[in-house]
Structure 1
Amino acid sequence: MPDWDLGQLRALAAAADLGTLDAAARALHVTPSAVSQRIKALEHQVGAVLLRRERPVRPTAAGEPLVRLARQLDALTEDATRHLAAPRVPRVPLAVNGDSLTTWLLPALAPLADRVVVELVREDQDRSAALLRDGSVMAAVTAERTAVQGCSVEPLGVMRYRPFAAPAFRDRWFADGVGRAALAAAPVVVFDAADRLQDRWLERAGVDPLAPPRHLVPASADFATAIRLGFGWGMLPDQQSDDDVAAGRLVLLDDGSGVEVPLFWQQWSLRTQALDAVADHVRRGARAALGGAARPAAP
């Protein structure tokens, strides 16, 4: 097993995070030459180029696991230091899809706010696993059911999305029913270019997803607001639409099952008290909001 030098690993991670050797040097309080020498020594030990020397610098495929290792070692060091020195609030970077963030995740994590610094990175549930692979986050709420290398995975539950519209929008565009011709003409609200929820529902209805005009609104709360204001129809999770339906601000276009998105919890396969606490609260929140078969954190 290699005898890793923590200073070399930190130099590599700092360069990858900050984009230049100069910025890494400032963060580590050393010279750029020292950062370069540490990275070269690590490359010599591994026998591979670990950093692409471009602007910004980026880790190579061989470098990505070592960047992740550096971040994991820092997390473990921070966890140990908390028990040996003056109390310091631990940090847990976490990727989460916008709809979970808007609906159930923040209430789930609120009880930890005075004990853990949670750094939330909003990322689509289909893409958040990439942040685990490069070590940018320690855990993720993701649609990826296959465990990222070095991570564990477990199901959280299912978010069900159904098509909603403002009453006036429905009356204008679907006066004769929600048929193919009307769906091909009625404007639709999508989150961003990667959002396929509306496309999947249109395809199920036999409509070309590229036919209707598309409004892009890349923020979960604003996405729902755009639908309420009549920009177009769109897919919303039950947790985000129930109050608006009860108040008459939204109407359901189809009473079918909608589109179901299974969510999973992936986290680094290491143990820190802070990460364990975050995972346990996420499981509880998912069980309450999604009906997931959440289990408590292992002792």
Structure 2
Amino acid sequence: MRTEISNTTDLLEFVLLGFSTTPNLQWILFGTFLLMYLTLLLCNGLIILITKIDPALQTPMYFFLSNFSFLEICYVTVTIPRMLMDICTQKGNISLVACAMKMFFFITLGGTECLLLAMMAYDRYVAICHPLHYTLIMNHKFSMKLATDFCVSTIPAVIGQTCRIFSLPFCGSNRIDHFFCDLPTVLKLACGDTFENEMAVYVVTAVFVTFPFLLILISYVRIISSILRMPLARGRAKAFSTCSSHLTVVVLFYGTASITYLQPKPRQAEDNGKLLSLSYSVLIPTLNPIIYWLRNKDIMLALRKLQSYKLGIKT
């Protein structure tokens, strides 16, 4: 009993090591992450703006895209500003309360994004497979209700998960070899048997990652089947163009997140886990609005209209 008590420390804070193992690259990393963050803010901000002011984009598809862009801004803001501050100060000290709060917001926003991506796939399914009933099914009231329900539904599960993790005793070192308080890395510092907590992580992941992914998969199987039956090549090309950007985002986001949260704990290498987390928490959210710009003709047209409007004002 004495040995167990002596090995268990009442930690008041963690230390995020971040990228301290590469001191020569600190300022290069700072500039890179700052540029990525500003790019994300600008691109997602433009998407939100044009979906609000362009009458051609006043549809459920772009309503969900606007909400997704807003979530992306919030999602990345949980991690990057703190990471930039730690790189500047060379200190990664963070209290348990602040760590728990960041974990809560990160998982809540990530889970909401997964559900919203599933809803966007369902929207495309209704638009392509049932076009005559699209306006009846995907009306504004229904879209608003879904967006609100998705955001609210993740909160109780994430609160429970976060409380379970931070109610555990933590042993030995308080150093987290990561750049933010990600769930798997914090769980590794816990004492004793964490099997129940790991199973709870898998259950939450199944609900908010695996289940929405299956819904997306089913939707796209039916979408592709319906597209292939279209008689006109032009119609098939247009249908594919509206779905390709969303499908690309889904594959990138779900792929890296699933590997991180569904991989067995002993097999998770620190460096690989950090790189994967960097992918789905920073890199992919930065690429998402660019993907929508490049692969969505309506977005490109709306941007040209906005640019022409600004030029008209200046002249």
Query: Under a length normalisation based on structure 1, what TM-score does the superposition of the two structures give?
Result: 0.24
More helix by share: 2
Query: Under a length normalisation based on structure 2, what TM-score does the superposition of the two structures give?
Result: 0.23
Greater Rg, structure 1 or structure 2? 1
Taking CA–CA contacts closer than 8 Å with sequence separation of 6 or more, which of the two structures ends up with the larger relative contact order?
A: 2
